[in-house]
Structure 1
Amino acid sequence: MDLLRSLPIGLYLEQPITWLHRIDARVKLGWLLTLMLTPISANPWWRLSLVGWLLLFTLATRLPFRVWKRQIGLVLFFSVLLFAVTLFAPDGLTVPNQNRLPADGLTQPAGNAASSAAQTAPRVDPLPQPTDYRYVLFERGNIRVTRRSVELAVRVGTFMFVLIYSTNLYLLTTAPEEITAGLEDLMQPLRRFNVPVTEIVLTLTLSLRFIPLVLEEVQNLVRSIRTRAINWKKLGFRGSTQVWTTVAEKLVDNLLVRAEQIASAMQVRGFTSPDRHQVQWHQFKLGSLDWLALGGIVVFWIARFAIGS
């Protein structure tokens, strides 16, 4: 069990370096926002095309198959499961239906004559529909699929796939320091409004660096429990709860110790204030590949309003 390699959390892939690694982090952030915003109020065909483009884009990056096969498999499984649940769920569209005639028929003083006339009246068949349009696409028992439920299922399934997988691909090909440096560069205008940009970026950097430490501590504790071969059936529910409570307390203690070690290391190296110790990790400079990617964003938005509306 290796949580650092098995979980699809978008950890940075240092090797091999693909052409997607070489694109500026700010440009990739623009593409990420584009992929998240274009599905809003788009038709189902545009949403489905985004899923196909992301799959083709993954193949074009030439990332190792072992890296993204498990990640894309889990994301696809979750999206398909969400699509199926939304498809067979009630669509929430309640249209009031009122009969043209009363349910019990018209009551007249001459009840017998009226009832006999109503019984002998010829039955009128419903008129044929002028088109083959049907709101209910499938109905059998309690299972009912309508046009609205299909549209909602496509919206939810494709949006979750694009949201999760595009973010995962961005984190997979962009170093944490590069992400935070790009955000700091884009947030420079906020300094005029006394926004602590450096503090925010430093906090984000430490958060991204702390994720592998959390996974490492969880992995070590799980391995320590497995090596002890605990008989969970003999412990029962109460005993198992006590064991996992102890493990959770140990995890919190270890994480607090790690955080204290990081804080002490920062103080020793002079990180007492953002103005006294600043490290420039990356010098951003847009190249030909970056300008080509920026032009692709413009073309992508034009296609969204021309085709996806």
Structure 2
Amino acid sequence: MNDDELRALPKAEVHVHLEGCFEVDTLVSLASNAGEALPRSPERLFEFTSFDGFLEFLSWSCGLVRSFDDASQAAYAYAERASAGGAIAADVIVNPTHWGSWRGDLTGLVSAFDDGFGAAEADGLATVGLCLSVMRQQSGAEAAELVDWMIEARHPRIVALSIDGNEKLSGRTGRRFASAFERAGAAGLRRTVHAGESSGPDGVIDALELLGADRIDHGVRSVESPEVVEALVERGTTLGVCPSSNLVLGLYPDMASHPIEQLRSAGVAVTVNTDDPAFVGTDLVREYRRCIEEFGWTDDTVREVAAASLAGCFQLERTASR
């Protein structure tokens, strides 16, 4: 399957952060408009020495988005990116803690994103749902406050509650957020959880058993436990795998060491995604291509993975039920 055929193959992206989609030129322009100095030269802007430094950079970059139009344009630009990779739909993660200029105005931020995504759909681009995310370092009360807002707002653009952040630093936080996730699920929201990346298989078990995860973001370290792999297969839980991101962050030294094919062969519903594509320097077609070249995926295998992404996409599920 060549790149044009890959691009034309219907697929969804189910693990991508809007915060990680700002290109250097866009950030330079936003910083200039905001009167903010760059933390380093444009050529080195995406150089990070730690995961925490990366998260701090996300807050700096998103803090440059200060107007309705800025936020709307960021949403539209993602839909363009997704469509360029052949995605017909996407679930995009947004963590409100990064968007400092909108603190206290989540309604305004979501409205701006909805405006951009709606305009993109009207132009024939990918349909996009929002997954609002709790940061792992937050308290249970803060997570409950976000869920309260989501339930009250019932915004049609919002498809799921998410949780992300530094698993290794935070430790096992499942019990802290279990109540908030239970309430979200009872209200009809889907739940997606970052686990099995910097945490091991225990993080995936917590996501499944304590947070009721409908989907796992990353989940690759499940491969370290046959019991966890079996649980994923039995439940039919989709993994939002991001191969290049795992390599860039040093989780695996090379594609040959990456377990996506081992998980797929075991019967886990794996999907291919970009995570933070601007910072990683990738796109959806490139991620599929890396797997094809490293693992010898046939056209049928590629179609199988693409079909899993469509089946695991909350936005497509939401639109189908309307």
User: What is the TM-score of this pair, normalised by structure 2?
Assistant: 0.24
Higher RCO (C-alpha 8 Å, min separation 6): 1
Larger radius of gyration: 1
Indicate the structure with greater helix content.
1
User: What is the TM-score of this pair, normalised by structure 1?
Assistant: 0.24
